[in-house]
Structures are given as C-alpha cells and as structure tokens.
C-alpha cells in the first residue's frame, strides 16, 4: 500500500486531435430517431479548445436519449428544446 495513482484533474486531452484539452461548456445536440428530428440547445458538454469537438457525458447522453424517446411517443416530428428546461433537476 501507499502508492498513489495520479488522479486526472478536470481537463482531459482530446482524443480526436490529441493536442487540445477539453473544457466544460455548452453545446447543441442533434438527434434523429424514427423520422423525428430533435435539437437540444445549451447541453452541458466538454469542448476541445483546439478542434471544437464536443463530448457529452454518459449521463447527459442518457438523458438526451430518454427525452428523444418521449418526444417520439408524443408524436413530435421536429423540435428544438433547451436542455436545462427539458431536464428536471
Ligand atoms: Zn480536439
């Protein structure tokens, strides 16, 4: 015991360009399911400061998919939603 594994802090190297670091920000996400097009705005994401690639956490992706399924069930064809307004805290 006594060996410390270095913990990664906040910033993660971007796997796409391998030179930028990701920083927390907001991004739009477009989902298409069963002929339904949904756009979520203001989605929390980690954004690469170099290439601009957006990374959503597993939790966020999960929520987006659930929201998309709800929209499909309610018969919406095209919708633009604010992520924060659509997801109860
Ligand atoms: Zn990048």
Does residue 73 surpass a pLDDT of 70? yes
In a domain, 12, yes or no: no
- Strands 78-82 vs 36-48: parallel, antiparallel or unpaired: parallel
Q: Three-state secondary structure along 18-64?
A: CCCEEEEEEEEEEEEECCEEEEEEEEEEEEECCCCCEECCHHHHHHH
Query: 47 CA distance to ligand 1 centroid (A)?
Result: 8
Ligand 1 centroid from CA 54, angstroms: 9
Do the domain assignments include residue 4? no
| pLDDT (tens digit per residue) in 10-55 | 567 999 999 999 999 999 999 998 788 999 999 999 999 999 999 9
Query: Would residue 61 count as lying in a domain?
Result: yes
pLDDT band of residue 9 (cuts 50, 70, 90) is low
Query: Please, are residues 35 and 43 in contact by the beta-carbon 8 Å criterion?
Result: no
Tell me how many domains the chain contains.
Answer: 1
Q: Which of left, alpha, beta for 58 (phi over 0: left; psi -120 to 50: alpha)?
A: alpha
Domain span including residue 67: 26-43+57-86
Cα–ligand 1 centroid distance for 69 (angstroms)? 30
């Amino acid at each position: 015991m006594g060996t410390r594994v270095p913990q990664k802090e906040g910033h993660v190297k971007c796997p796409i360009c391998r030179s930028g670091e990701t920083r927390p920000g907001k991004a739009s996400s477009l989902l298409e399911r069963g002929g339904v097009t949904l756009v979520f705005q203001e989605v929390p994401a980690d954004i690469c400061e170099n290439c601009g690639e957006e990374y959503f956490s597993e939790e966020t992706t999960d929520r987006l998919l659930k929201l998309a399924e709800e929209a499909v069930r309610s018969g919406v064809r095209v919708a633009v939603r604010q992520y924060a307004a659509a997801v109860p805290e």
